[in-house]
Amino acid sequence: MTRSHLSSITSRMDKLYEFDREPVLLQKLHSGGRFAGLFAGEHVAATEFVIGAFFVLHGVTANDLIFGLLTGNLLAVLSWTFICAPIAIRTRLTLYWYLRKIAGPGLALIYNLANAILYCILAGAMIAVSATAVGLAFRIKTPSLSDIYPSSVGWVLLTLAIGLLFVILAILGFEKLSRFAEVCSPWVFVVFIAGALAMLPRLGVHPNLDNFWQIATNRIWNGVAAAGQDKFGFAHIMFFAWFCNLAMHVGLSDMALFRYARHWAYGLYSAFGMYPGHMLAWICSGIMVAAVGREMNPGLMAFEAAGLAGAAAVLIAGWTTANPTLYRAGLALQTITPNWPRWKVTLAAGLATTVLSCFPVFFMRLLDYVAIYGLVLMPIGAIVFAEHWLFPLFKLEKYRAEKEGWLLNARALAVWVGTLLVCFLLPIHLFFRWLPGYFIALISYVLLSAMRRKPEKNKHEGKATKKNKDGDEDQDRPCR
Protein backbone atom coordinates (compact mmCIF):
# COMPACT_ATOMS: atom_id res chain seq x y z
CA MET A 1 0.00 0.00 0.00
CA THR A 2 1.54 3.34 -1.01
CA ARG A 3 1.76 6.32 1.28
CA SER A 4 -0.68 8.34 -0.84
CA HIS A 5 -3.16 5.45 -0.86
CA LEU A 6 -2.95 5.18 2.93
CA SER A 7 -3.40 8.95 3.25
CA SER A 8 -6.51 8.82 1.12
CA ILE A 9 -7.95 5.99 3.24
CA THR A 10 -7.23 7.81 6.49
CA SER A 11 -8.80 11.02 5.22
CA ARG A 12 -11.95 9.04 4.36
CA MET A 13 -11.88 7.58 7.85
CA ASP A 14 -11.62 11.08 9.34
CA LYS A 15 -14.73 12.12 7.42
CA LEU A 16 -16.64 9.18 8.90
CA TYR A 17 -15.79 10.22 12.44
CA GLU A 18 -16.05 13.94 11.70
CA PHE A 19 -19.13 14.34 13.90
CA ASP A 20 -17.15 13.61 17.07
CA ARG A 21 -13.92 15.33 16.10
CA GLU A 22 -14.29 18.26 18.51
CA PRO A 23 -14.14 17.94 22.30
CA VAL A 24 -17.57 17.65 23.90
CA LEU A 25 -19.19 20.95 24.91
CA LEU A 26 -19.83 21.56 28.63
CA GLN A 27 -23.56 21.90 28.12
CA LYS A 28 -23.67 18.47 26.46
CA LEU A 29 -22.42 16.57 29.51
CA HIS A 30 -24.69 13.83 30.86
CA SER A 31 -25.97 13.13 34.35
CA GLY A 32 -24.80 10.20 36.44
CA GLY A 33 -28.19 8.52 36.13
CA ARG A 34 -27.76 8.34 32.38
CA PHE A 35 -24.43 6.54 32.80
CA ALA A 36 -26.00 4.11 35.26
CA GLY A 37 -28.78 3.37 32.73
CA LEU A 38 -26.34 2.97 29.85
CA PHE A 39 -24.18 0.49 31.72
CA ALA A 40 -27.16 -1.42 33.11
CA GLY A 41 -28.62 -1.82 29.62
CA GLU A 42 -25.40 -2.68 27.83
CA HIS A 43 -24.14 -5.48 30.04
CA VAL A 44 -27.11 -7.82 30.03
CA ALA A 45 -26.60 -9.44 26.64
CA ALA A 46 -26.73 -12.79 24.87
CA THR A 47 -23.14 -13.55 25.93
CA GLU A 48 -24.33 -13.72 29.55
CA PHE A 49 -26.34 -16.88 28.73
CA VAL A 50 -23.09 -18.55 27.66
CA ILE A 51 -20.47 -17.17 30.07
CA GLY A 52 -22.17 -18.11 33.36
CA ALA A 53 -22.95 -21.56 31.98
CA PHE A 54 -19.33 -22.08 30.97
CA PHE A 55 -18.16 -21.33 34.51
CA VAL A 56 -20.21 -24.35 35.65
CA LEU A 57 -18.73 -26.53 32.89
CA HIS A 58 -15.24 -25.41 33.90
CA GLY A 59 -15.76 -26.81 37.39
CA VAL A 60 -15.77 -23.62 39.43
CA THR A 61 -16.69 -23.94 43.10
CA ALA A 62 -19.43 -21.70 44.52
CA ASN A 63 -17.01 -19.82 46.80
CA ASP A 64 -14.53 -19.19 43.98
CA LEU A 65 -17.35 -17.98 41.76
CA ILE A 66 -18.80 -15.51 44.24
CA PHE A 67 -15.52 -14.07 45.50
CA GLY A 68 -13.99 -14.14 42.02
CA LEU A 69 -16.92 -12.20 40.55
CA LEU A 70 -17.02 -9.72 43.44
CA THR A 71 -13.32 -8.86 43.15
CA GLY A 72 -13.05 -9.12 39.35
CA ASN A 73 -16.01 -6.83 38.77
CA LEU A 74 -14.67 -4.40 41.38
CA LEU A 75 -11.36 -4.30 39.48
CA ALA A 76 -13.26 -3.66 36.24
CA VAL A 77 -15.21 -0.79 37.85
CA LEU A 78 -11.96 0.67 39.22
CA SER A 79 -10.33 0.36 35.78
CA TRP A 80 -13.15 2.43 34.26
CA THR A 81 -12.88 4.91 37.12
CA PHE A 82 -9.13 5.38 37.40
CA ILE A 83 -7.86 4.54 33.89
CA CYS A 84 -10.53 5.33 31.30
CA ALA A 85 -12.67 8.13 32.77
CA PRO A 86 -9.83 10.49 33.85
CA ILE A 87 -8.30 10.53 30.35
CA ALA A 88 -11.73 10.91 28.76
CA ILE A 89 -12.75 13.91 30.85
CA ARG A 90 -9.38 15.64 30.37
CA THR A 91 -9.43 15.26 26.60
CA ARG A 92 -13.18 15.06 25.90
CA LEU A 93 -12.26 13.08 22.79
CA THR A 94 -13.02 9.61 21.49
CA LEU A 95 -10.21 7.08 21.48
CA TYR A 96 -10.11 7.33 17.69
CA TRP A 97 -9.19 11.04 17.70
CA TYR A 98 -6.87 10.79 20.67
CA LEU A 99 -5.07 7.81 19.16
CA ARG A 100 -4.74 9.76 15.94
CA LYS A 101 -2.83 12.50 17.80
CA ILE A 102 -0.58 9.95 19.50
CA ALA A 103 -0.03 7.27 16.90
CA GLY A 104 -0.99 8.88 13.61
CA PRO A 105 -3.90 8.16 11.27
CA GLY A 106 -2.24 5.00 9.90
CA LEU A 107 -2.25 3.25 13.25
CA ALA A 108 -5.77 4.50 13.99
CA LEU A 109 -6.78 2.83 10.72
CA ILE A 110 -5.10 -0.47 11.65
CA TYR A 111 -6.76 -0.31 15.09
CA ASN A 112 -10.15 0.24 13.44
CA LEU A 113 -9.69 -2.70 11.10
CA ALA A 114 -8.59 -4.99 13.94
CA ASN A 115 -11.65 -3.86 15.86
CA ALA A 116 -13.92 -4.54 12.87
CA ILE A 117 -12.64 -8.11 12.48
CA LEU A 118 -13.04 -8.77 16.20
CA TYR A 119 -16.55 -7.27 16.13
CA CYS A 120 -17.52 -9.56 13.23
CA ILE A 121 -16.42 -12.65 15.15
CA LEU A 122 -18.33 -11.51 18.25
CA ALA A 123 -21.47 -10.86 16.20
CA GLY A 124 -21.02 -14.32 14.64
CA ALA A 125 -21.00 -15.89 18.10
CA MET A 126 -24.22 -13.98 18.93
CA ILE A 127 -25.90 -15.33 15.80
CA ALA A 128 -24.92 -18.85 16.89
CA VAL A 129 -26.40 -18.23 20.37
CA SER A 130 -29.68 -17.10 18.77
CA ALA A 131 -29.59 -20.16 16.50
CA THR A 132 -29.70 -22.45 19.54
CA ALA A 133 -33.12 -20.96 20.40
CA VAL A 134 -34.59 -21.19 16.89
CA GLY A 135 -33.05 -24.64 16.40
CA LEU A 136 -35.32 -26.03 19.14
CA ALA A 137 -38.36 -25.54 16.91
CA PHE A 138 -36.72 -27.45 14.05
CA ARG A 139 -35.04 -30.07 16.25
CA ILE A 140 -31.60 -29.07 14.98
CA LYS A 141 -28.83 -30.40 17.18
CA THR A 142 -26.58 -27.79 18.79
CA PRO A 143 -22.85 -28.47 18.19
CA SER A 144 -20.93 -30.06 21.04
CA LEU A 145 -18.33 -28.34 23.20
CA SER A 146 -15.35 -29.64 21.22
CA ASP A 147 -16.74 -28.85 17.74
CA ILE A 148 -14.73 -26.48 15.58
CA TYR A 149 -16.45 -26.98 12.23
CA PRO A 150 -20.23 -27.08 11.62
CA SER A 151 -21.61 -30.41 12.79
CA SER A 152 -24.64 -30.64 10.49
CA VAL A 153 -26.18 -29.15 7.36
CA GLY A 154 -29.16 -28.10 9.47
CA TRP A 155 -26.90 -25.98 11.75
CA VAL A 156 -25.27 -24.30 8.72
CA LEU A 157 -28.63 -23.49 7.12
CA LEU A 158 -30.02 -22.23 10.43
CA THR A 159 -27.10 -19.90 11.21
CA LEU A 160 -27.03 -18.65 7.62
CA ALA A 161 -30.76 -17.90 7.72
CA ILE A 162 -30.59 -16.12 11.10
CA GLY A 163 -27.42 -14.26 10.12
CA LEU A 164 -28.97 -13.01 6.88
CA LEU A 165 -32.10 -11.95 8.75
CA PHE A 166 -30.03 -9.98 11.28
CA VAL A 167 -28.02 -8.35 8.49
CA ILE A 168 -31.13 -7.33 6.55
CA LEU A 169 -32.68 -5.88 9.71
CA ALA A 170 -29.44 -4.02 10.53
CA ILE A 171 -29.44 -2.53 7.01
CA LEU A 172 -33.12 -1.57 7.13
CA GLY A 173 -33.09 0.26 10.41
CA PHE A 174 -30.14 0.33 12.75
CA GLU A 175 -31.47 3.23 14.82
CA LYS A 176 -34.95 1.77 15.30
CA LEU A 177 -33.37 -1.51 16.39
CA SER A 178 -31.17 0.33 18.86
CA ARG A 179 -34.27 1.86 20.44
CA PHE A 180 -35.87 -1.60 20.50
CA ALA A 181 -32.76 -2.93 22.26
CA GLU A 182 -33.25 -0.34 25.02
CA VAL A 183 -36.76 -1.70 25.60
CA CYS A 184 -35.46 -5.29 25.60
CA SER A 185 -32.68 -5.12 28.17
CA PRO A 186 -34.76 -4.85 31.40
CA TRP A 187 -36.92 -7.74 30.20
CA VAL A 188 -33.91 -9.91 29.33
CA PHE A 189 -32.57 -9.29 32.83
CA VAL A 190 -35.91 -10.43 34.29
CA VAL A 191 -35.72 -13.58 32.12
CA PHE A 192 -32.37 -14.40 33.75
CA ILE A 193 -33.71 -13.95 37.29
CA ALA A 194 -37.07 -15.67 36.65
CA GLY A 195 -35.43 -18.50 34.69
CA ALA A 196 -32.96 -19.26 37.48
CA LEU A 197 -35.69 -19.09 40.11
CA ALA A 198 -37.92 -21.44 38.13
CA MET A 199 -35.07 -23.96 37.73
CA LEU A 200 -34.33 -24.17 41.45
CA PRO A 201 -37.11 -26.71 42.24
CA ARG A 202 -35.75 -28.98 39.48
CA LEU A 203 -32.38 -28.94 41.24
CA GLY A 204 -34.06 -29.82 44.53
CA VAL A 205 -34.01 -26.43 46.28
CA HIS A 206 -36.78 -26.15 48.89
CA PRO A 207 -39.21 -23.19 48.76
CA ASN A 208 -37.77 -21.87 52.06
CA LEU A 209 -34.25 -21.96 50.52
CA ASP A 210 -32.84 -23.83 53.54
CA ASN A 211 -30.81 -26.17 51.32
CA PHE A 212 -29.87 -23.63 48.65
CA TRP A 213 -26.19 -23.42 49.58
CA GLN A 214 -25.92 -27.20 49.80
CA ILE A 215 -27.42 -27.57 46.28
CA ALA A 216 -25.27 -24.71 44.99
CA THR A 217 -22.07 -26.37 46.17
CA ASN A 218 -23.01 -29.97 45.32
CA ARG A 219 -25.10 -29.74 42.17
CA ILE A 220 -24.34 -26.43 40.49
CA TRP A 221 -20.83 -25.11 41.17
CA ASN A 222 -19.51 -28.41 42.48
CA GLY A 223 -15.90 -28.01 41.35
CA VAL A 224 -16.09 -30.79 38.75
CA ALA A 225 -15.13 -29.73 35.22
CA ALA A 226 -16.90 -31.24 32.20
CA ALA A 227 -14.86 -33.57 29.99
CA GLY A 228 -12.30 -31.65 27.93
CA GLN A 229 -12.72 -28.39 29.90
CA ASP A 230 -9.97 -26.75 32.01
CA LYS A 231 -10.62 -26.53 35.73
CA PHE A 232 -11.17 -22.90 36.74
CA GLY A 233 -10.46 -21.45 40.18
CA PHE A 234 -10.79 -18.09 41.93
CA ALA A 235 -8.05 -16.42 39.84
CA HIS A 236 -9.64 -17.47 36.52
CA ILE A 237 -13.01 -16.04 37.53
CA MET A 238 -11.53 -12.85 38.94
CA PHE A 239 -9.43 -12.25 35.83
CA PHE A 240 -12.29 -13.09 33.50
CA ALA A 241 -14.67 -10.65 35.22
CA TRP A 242 -11.91 -8.02 35.07
CA PHE A 243 -10.91 -8.46 31.42
CA CYS A 244 -14.35 -9.22 30.04
CA ASN A 245 -14.58 -5.57 28.92
CA LEU A 246 -10.82 -4.98 28.74
CA ALA A 247 -11.01 -3.18 25.38
CA MET A 248 -13.54 -0.79 26.92
CA HIS A 249 -11.82 0.19 30.19
CA VAL A 250 -8.08 -0.51 30.09
CA GLY A 251 -8.20 -0.43 26.28
CA LEU A 252 -9.92 2.99 26.57
CA SER A 253 -12.57 2.58 23.89
CA ASP A 254 -15.17 3.79 26.44
CA MET A 255 -13.54 7.24 26.20
CA ALA A 256 -16.33 7.73 23.65
CA LEU A 257 -18.79 7.39 26.54
CA PHE A 258 -16.93 9.07 29.39
CA ARG A 259 -16.07 12.19 27.42
CA TYR A 260 -19.65 13.16 28.32
CA ALA A 261 -19.05 12.65 32.07
CA ARG A 262 -18.94 15.60 34.48
CA HIS A 263 -16.33 13.93 36.70
CA TRP A 264 -13.93 10.99 36.51
CA ALA A 265 -15.77 9.39 39.45
CA TYR A 266 -18.62 8.67 36.99
CA GLY A 267 -16.59 5.56 36.18
CA LEU A 268 -18.09 4.11 39.35
CA TYR A 269 -21.48 4.01 37.57
CA SER A 270 -20.11 1.06 35.60
CA ALA A 271 -20.97 -0.98 38.73
CA PHE A 272 -24.62 -0.74 37.59
CA GLY A 273 -23.65 -2.84 34.58
CA MET A 274 -21.12 -5.13 36.20
CA TYR A 275 -22.94 -6.43 39.26
CA PRO A 276 -26.38 -7.10 37.73
CA GLY A 277 -25.05 -8.21 34.32
CA HIS A 278 -21.66 -9.73 35.00
CA MET A 279 -22.49 -11.22 38.35
CA LEU A 280 -26.21 -11.89 38.82
CA ALA A 281 -26.90 -12.85 35.19
CA TRP A 282 -23.84 -15.15 35.14
CA ILE A 283 -24.95 -16.82 38.36
CA CYS A 284 -28.47 -17.26 36.88
CA SER A 285 -27.21 -18.85 33.66
CA GLY A 286 -25.05 -21.17 35.77
CA ILE A 287 -28.15 -22.34 37.63
CA MET A 288 -30.01 -22.86 34.34
CA VAL A 289 -27.26 -24.95 32.72
CA ALA A 290 -26.95 -27.13 35.82
CA ALA A 291 -30.70 -27.78 35.67
CA VAL A 292 -30.56 -29.00 32.04
CA GLY A 293 -27.87 -31.58 32.74
CA ARG A 294 -24.89 -29.28 31.94
CA GLU A 295 -25.68 -29.16 28.24
CA MET A 296 -24.27 -26.02 26.59
CA ASN A 297 -27.38 -24.96 24.75
CA PRO A 298 -28.57 -21.45 25.69
CA GLY A 299 -31.81 -21.84 23.73
CA LEU A 300 -32.73 -25.06 25.52
CA MET A 301 -31.72 -23.63 28.92
CA ALA A 302 -33.95 -20.60 28.53
CA PHE A 303 -36.83 -22.58 27.00
CA GLU A 304 -36.84 -25.05 29.89
CA ALA A 305 -36.62 -22.16 32.36
CA ALA A 306 -39.20 -19.74 30.98
CA GLY A 307 -40.94 -21.45 28.04
CA LEU A 308 -41.40 -19.65 24.73
CA ALA A 309 -40.56 -16.31 26.34
CA GLY A 310 -37.20 -17.74 27.42
CA ALA A 311 -36.34 -18.97 23.91
CA ALA A 312 -37.45 -15.59 22.55
CA ALA A 313 -35.15 -13.88 25.07
CA VAL A 314 -32.13 -15.78 23.73
CA LEU A 315 -33.07 -14.92 20.14
CA ILE A 316 -33.72 -11.26 20.93
CA ALA A 317 -30.64 -10.88 23.14
CA GLY A 318 -28.48 -12.34 20.35
CA TRP A 319 -30.10 -10.06 17.82
CA THR A 320 -29.82 -6.86 19.88
CA THR A 321 -26.16 -7.63 20.65
CA ALA A 322 -25.29 -8.49 17.05
CA ASN A 323 -27.03 -5.40 15.64
CA PRO A 324 -24.75 -2.65 17.05
CA THR A 325 -21.76 -4.94 16.58
CA LEU A 326 -22.53 -5.28 12.86
CA TYR A 327 -23.03 -1.53 12.65
CA ARG A 328 -19.66 -0.78 14.30
CA ALA A 329 -17.89 -3.31 12.10
CA GLY A 330 -19.49 -1.71 9.04
CA LEU A 331 -18.45 1.74 10.20
CA ALA A 332 -14.86 0.63 10.67
CA LEU A 333 -14.76 -1.14 7.30
CA GLN A 334 -16.28 1.82 5.46
CA THR A 335 -12.83 3.42 5.47
CA ILE A 336 -11.40 0.92 3.02
CA THR A 337 -14.40 0.72 0.71
CA PRO A 338 -14.36 3.97 -1.27
CA ASN A 339 -17.73 5.39 -2.21
CA TRP A 340 -19.65 2.39 -0.88
CA PRO A 341 -22.94 3.35 0.78
CA ARG A 342 -23.43 2.24 4.38
CA TRP A 343 -25.87 -0.55 3.43
CA LYS A 344 -23.30 -2.15 1.15
CA VAL A 345 -20.58 -2.11 3.80
CA THR A 346 -22.96 -3.49 6.44
CA LEU A 347 -23.98 -6.20 3.97
CA ALA A 348 -20.34 -7.17 3.32
CA ALA A 349 -19.49 -7.20 7.06
CA GLY A 350 -22.73 -9.06 7.77
CA LEU A 351 -22.09 -11.75 5.17
CA ALA A 352 -18.61 -12.37 6.57
CA THR A 353 -20.12 -12.50 10.07
CA THR A 354 -22.82 -14.91 8.94
CA VAL A 355 -20.25 -17.29 7.48
CA LEU A 356 -18.25 -17.11 10.74
CA SER A 357 -21.37 -17.90 12.76
CA CYS A 358 -21.58 -21.34 11.14
CA PHE A 359 -18.37 -22.32 12.91
CA PRO A 360 -19.24 -23.36 16.46
CA VAL A 361 -15.68 -22.77 17.66
CA PHE A 362 -16.36 -19.04 18.19
CA PHE A 363 -19.39 -19.76 20.33
CA MET A 364 -18.06 -22.85 22.12
CA ARG A 365 -14.75 -21.12 22.90
CA LEU A 366 -16.37 -17.79 23.77
CA LEU A 367 -14.38 -17.34 27.01
CA ASP A 368 -11.07 -17.70 25.15
CA TYR A 369 -12.30 -15.42 22.40
CA VAL A 370 -13.27 -12.71 24.91
CA ALA A 371 -9.74 -13.01 26.37
CA ILE A 372 -8.12 -12.70 22.93
CA TYR A 373 -10.37 -9.76 21.99
CA GLY A 374 -9.25 -7.78 25.04
CA LEU A 375 -5.63 -8.87 24.69
CA VAL A 376 -5.33 -7.73 21.06
CA LEU A 377 -6.62 -4.20 21.78
CA MET A 378 -5.07 -3.76 25.25
CA PRO A 379 -1.62 -2.49 24.08
CA ILE A 380 -3.28 0.51 22.43
CA GLY A 381 -4.75 1.47 25.82
CA ALA A 382 -1.29 1.15 27.38
CA ILE A 383 0.27 3.35 24.66
CA VAL A 384 -2.36 6.07 25.14
CA PHE A 385 -2.05 5.85 28.94
CA ALA A 386 1.75 6.16 28.71
CA GLU A 387 1.62 9.16 26.42
CA HIS A 388 -1.08 10.87 28.49
CA TRP A 389 0.28 10.36 32.03
CA LEU A 390 3.85 9.08 31.86
CA PHE A 391 5.30 11.29 29.13
CA PRO A 392 4.88 14.49 31.20
CA LEU A 393 6.47 12.70 34.20
CA PHE A 394 9.54 11.77 32.17
CA LYS A 395 9.53 15.09 30.32
CA LEU A 396 8.90 13.42 26.98
CA GLU A 397 7.20 15.33 24.23
CA LYS A 398 3.54 14.41 23.68
CA TYR A 399 1.65 14.10 20.39
CA ARG A 400 4.72 14.00 18.13
CA ALA A 401 2.75 12.08 15.52
CA GLU A 402 0.29 14.95 15.20
CA LYS A 403 2.86 17.73 15.41
CA GLU A 404 5.24 16.22 12.90
CA GLY A 405 2.54 14.91 10.61
CA TRP A 406 3.48 11.22 10.89
CA LEU A 407 1.20 8.88 9.04
CA LEU A 408 2.07 6.16 11.53
CA ASN A 409 3.94 6.15 14.83
CA ALA A 410 6.34 3.26 14.21
CA ARG A 411 7.22 2.95 17.90
CA ALA A 412 3.56 2.52 18.84
CA LEU A 413 3.13 -0.13 16.14
CA ALA A 414 6.29 -1.94 17.29
CA VAL A 415 5.06 -1.89 20.91
CA TRP A 416 1.63 -3.20 19.87
CA VAL A 417 3.01 -6.06 17.77
CA GLY A 418 5.87 -6.81 20.21
CA THR A 419 3.55 -6.95 23.21
CA LEU A 420 1.23 -9.37 21.44
CA LEU A 421 4.18 -11.59 20.48
CA VAL A 422 5.45 -11.67 24.07
CA CYS A 423 1.91 -12.38 25.37
CA PHE A 424 1.60 -15.22 22.86
CA LEU A 425 4.80 -16.79 24.19
CA LEU A 426 4.14 -16.28 27.91
CA PRO A 427 3.87 -19.69 29.61
CA ILE A 428 0.76 -18.79 31.64
CA HIS A 429 -2.99 -19.29 31.15
CA LEU A 430 -4.51 -17.13 28.42
CA PHE A 431 -6.67 -15.28 30.98
CA PHE A 432 -3.63 -13.94 32.87
CA ARG A 433 -1.49 -12.84 29.93
CA TRP A 434 -2.91 -9.39 29.44
CA LEU A 435 -1.70 -8.03 32.80
CA PRO A 436 2.06 -8.54 32.29
CA GLY A 437 1.44 -7.56 28.66
CA TYR A 438 -0.01 -4.22 29.78
CA PHE A 439 3.09 -3.35 31.80
CA ILE A 440 5.37 -4.55 29.00
CA ALA A 441 3.56 -2.22 26.58
CA LEU A 442 3.67 0.73 29.03
CA ILE A 443 7.37 0.37 29.83
CA SER A 444 8.55 -0.43 26.31
CA TYR A 445 6.63 2.51 24.80
CA VAL A 446 8.12 4.94 27.32
CA LEU A 447 11.63 3.50 26.83
CA LEU A 448 11.42 3.53 23.03
CA SER A 449 10.11 7.09 23.08
CA ALA A 450 12.86 8.18 25.51
CA MET A 451 15.52 6.65 23.24
CA ARG A 452 14.14 8.57 20.27
CA ARG A 453 13.83 11.83 22.21
CA LYS A 454 14.38 14.83 19.94
CA PRO A 455 17.57 16.88 20.41
CA GLU A 456 16.91 19.88 22.71
CA LYS A 457 17.52 22.47 19.99
CA ASN A 458 15.07 20.99 17.51
CA LYS A 459 12.61 20.35 20.29
CA HIS A 460 12.52 24.02 21.24
CA GLU A 461 12.21 25.04 17.62
CA GLY A 462 9.34 22.65 17.17
CA LYS A 463 7.63 23.97 20.29
CA ALA A 464 7.96 27.56 19.21
CA THR A 465 6.46 26.86 15.83
CA LYS A 466 3.53 25.00 17.32
CA LYS A 467 2.90 27.57 20.04
CA ASN A 468 2.78 30.30 17.45
CA LYS A 469 0.17 28.33 15.60
CA ASP A 470 -2.34 27.42 18.25
CA GLY A 471 -0.71 28.21 21.56
CA ASP A 472 -1.73 25.05 23.42
CA GLU A 473 1.47 23.04 23.25
CA ASP A 474 1.43 19.89 25.37
CA GLN A 475 -1.89 20.77 26.94
CA ASP A 476 -4.74 18.33 26.99
CA ARG A 477 -7.66 19.65 25.08
CA PRO A 478 -9.90 21.45 27.50
CA CYS A 479 -13.61 21.03 27.79
CA ARG A 480 -15.20 23.82 25.81
Question: Would you count residue 133 as binding another protein (CB under 8 A)?
Answer: no
Contact status, residue 236 vs residue 431, Cβ threshold 8 Å: yes
Question: Would you count residue 461 as binding another protein (CB under 8 A)?
Answer: no
Question: Would you count residue 186 as binding another protein (CB under 8 A)?
Answer: yes
Q: Is the dihedral of CA 247, 248, 250, 256 positive or negative?
A: positive
Contact status, residue 313 vs residue 44, Cβ threshold 8 Å: no
Q: How near is the Cβ of 197 to another protein at its closest, in Å? A: 4
Range in contact with another protein (rule: CB under 8 A) among 58-66, 220-228, 239-247, 302-310:
302-310
Candidates 157, 194, 348, 390: give the one binding another protein (CB under 8 A): 194
Range in contact with another protein (rule: CB under 8 A) among 50-58, 143-151, 174-182, 436-444:
174-182
Question: Would you count residue 386 as binding another protein (CB under 8 A)?
Answer: no
Q: What DSSP state is assigned to residue 212?
A: H
Number of Cβ within a 10 Å radius of residue 350? 27
Angle between helices 95-137 and 342-357 (to 10 degrees): 50
Question: Would you count residue 200 as binding another protein (CB under 8 A)?
Answer: yes
Q: How near is the Cβ of 206 to another protein at its closest, in Å? A: 10
Question: Would you count residue 306 as binding another protein (CB under 8 A)?
Answer: yes
Contact status, residue 79 vs residue 386, Cβ threshold 8 Å: no
Q: What is the distance between the terminal CA atoms of the chain, rounded to a whole angstrom?
A: 38
Question: Would you count residue 201 as binding another protein (CB under 8 A)?
Answer: yes
Candidates 36, 198, 268, 410: give the one binding another protein (CB under 8 A): 198
Candidates 308, 421, 428, 464: give the one binding another protein (CB under 8 A): 308
Q: How near is the Cβ of 198 to another protein at its closest, in Å? A: 5
Give me the amino acid identity at 30.
Answer: H
Contact status, residue 288 vs residue 107, Cβ threshold 8 Å: no
Q: How near is the Cβ of 182 to another protein at its closest, in Å? A: 7
**What is the C-alpha to C-alpha distance for residues 8 and 21, in angstroms, rounded to an integer?**
18
Instruction: Tell me which residue of 118, 46, 142, 90 sits closest to 258, measured CA to CA.
Output: 90
**What is the C-alpha to C-alpha distance for residues 463 and 459, in angstroms, rounded to an integer?**
6
Range in contact with another protein (rule: CB under 8 A) among 25-33, 179-187, 323-331, 408-416:
179-187
Question: Would you count residue 175 as binding another protein (CB under 8 A)?
Answer: no
Chain positions contacting another protein, by CB under 8 A? 179-180, 182-183, 186-187, 190-191, 193-195, 197-198, 200-201, 207, 306-310, 312
